[in-house]
Structure 1
Amino acid sequence: MTPTATALLLYVAWFLLLLMTLGFVRTSLVLGGKRASNSFSPSGEDMDAFGKRLTRAHANCYENLPAAGAILLYAIATNQTGLTDSLAYIFLGARIAQSVAHLISTSRLFVFIRFFFFIVQVVILLIWLLKLLHWI
């Protein structure tokens, strides 16, 4: 399996891990009698601090997945993973680091750290796009 395919699958695995964690947190609240199952806000604003951060970290993953998925799947489908392999694990690491920073804190320092890892991902996506278009 190429680094591109591995990074794509591990991105999805990370997304699912965040989703399952969010599901566990919400299910625990429902089963503990603290919340009704239909009372959760999609934004997570009605949860405790960690629940809010977890909801947003999960949302950040699915907001970025269409662009990342399309580019990586295109590279795989057109047998051009040689253009994406070198940065695939860096991209994945930046994605996970952004989520972890989000889960830890929303302090100014961690917002800056989160933004840094987001920019790393955007720059890599732009590089891949330009390479796949054969513009660079």
Structure 2
Amino acid sequence: MNATILALGGYIFWLMVLLLSLAVIRTIESKKRSDKSLKFDPNGADLGNLGQRLTRAHLNTVESFPFVCGVMLLALATDSSAISNGLAFVVLGARIIQSSVHILSVSNNAITLRFVFFLIQFGIAGYWLCLIIYKFL
């Protein structure tokens, strides 16, 4: 089992779940409106609080993809997944928790918690990157 491949797939799956959830909410909201326009506010403000939080959780996941999944892909491409395998599921779990907290609340405590889970992902990705680069020096 290669944990990096599974975690990378899990990250992509989570991104797809968020996107599909957003599409479902947008479809439901557009059916409720008398204006049947397909235009929408890209920040989700037209969807109410839950929709706006879901939009931001989705976009935040997209924004983190390059540095989190990019390092996972680098590990796989350089046959260095032994470096990333040990913490791959921690990174995936931190991403899912961060997104879930983002969707559930915007309280100060929730924002702090989201930041902690972001730092876990960022720190691990940075650690992996250093180890992969060091391997090739």
Runs of 4+ in structure 1 over 3 Å off: 33-37
2:41 aligns with 41
The residue number in structure 2 matching 1:122 is 122
Long gaps (5+) in structure 1: none
Give TM-score scaled by structure 2 length.
0.93
The answer on 1:71 being equivalent to 2:103 is no
Distance in 1 separating the partners of 2:35 and 2:4 = 41
Identity of aligned residues (%): 37
Q: Give the alignment's Cα RMSD to 1 decimal.
A: 1.6
8 A contact 2:30–2:38 mirrored in 1: no
Match of 2:80 in 1: 80
Q: Which runs of 5+ in 2 are unaligned?
A: none
Which whole-Å CA distance do the structure 2 matches of 1:109 and 1:35 have between them? 37
8 Å Cα contact 1:102-1:110 kept in structure 2: yes
- Specify which structure has the higher proportion of helix: 2
Residue 129 to residue 35, structure 1, CA distance change in 2 (3 Å)? farther
CA-CA distance at 1:37 after TM superposition: 4.1
User: Shift in Å at residue 35 of structure 1?
Assistant: 5.2
Gap change, CA 1:38 and 1:105, over 3 Å in 2: same
Q: Distance between the aligned counterparts of 1:22 and 1:63, measured in 2?
A: 16
Judge conservation of contact 1:29–1:35 (CA < 8 Å) in 2.
Answer: no
Contact preservation (8 Å) 1:25, 1:51: yes
